Amino acid sequence: MSDCRKRAGFTFVEVLAALAFLGILIPVVLSAMTVSLRASEIAERSSVAAQLGENMLNEMIVENTWSSAGTRGDFGQDYPGYRWQMTQANWTRAA
């Protein structure tokens, strides 16, 4: 019976090694998760901005206001923090 009792469970050194491993691993995993969340937020905001810009340009083209509309604005209360700016330039022909 004493042999069975010695084999069941972990030694103190094994528990300390597992805790040290977790102490190193947890901050690395949390840091990686933080970076991935920031990257996904930036990707989402870029995607929304591109869609809003495309919608604004299409609206101006359909209403034929692209030549007389203002050159900058925002998207109102629906999309706070998103702004648009239009720049017009003449096309140059390559020789």
Rounded to 5°, the CA angle 23-29-30 comes to 95
Domain map (residue ranges) of the chain:
10-85
User: Which ranges of the chain does DSSP label H, i.e. alpha helix?
Assistant: 2-7, 12-63
Closest CA to 52 of 74, 30, 22: 74
Whether this model's pTM surpasses 0.85: no
More confident residue, 70 or 32: 32
- Find the largest Cα–Cα distance for the chain: 96
Please check whether residue 69 is in contact with residue 85, taking contact to mean a CB–CB distance below 8 angstroms.
Answer: no
Of the pLDDT bands very low, low, confident and very high (cuts 50, 70, 90), residue 5 is: low
pLDDT digits (tens, 9 = 90+) for 73-83: 888 888 998 99
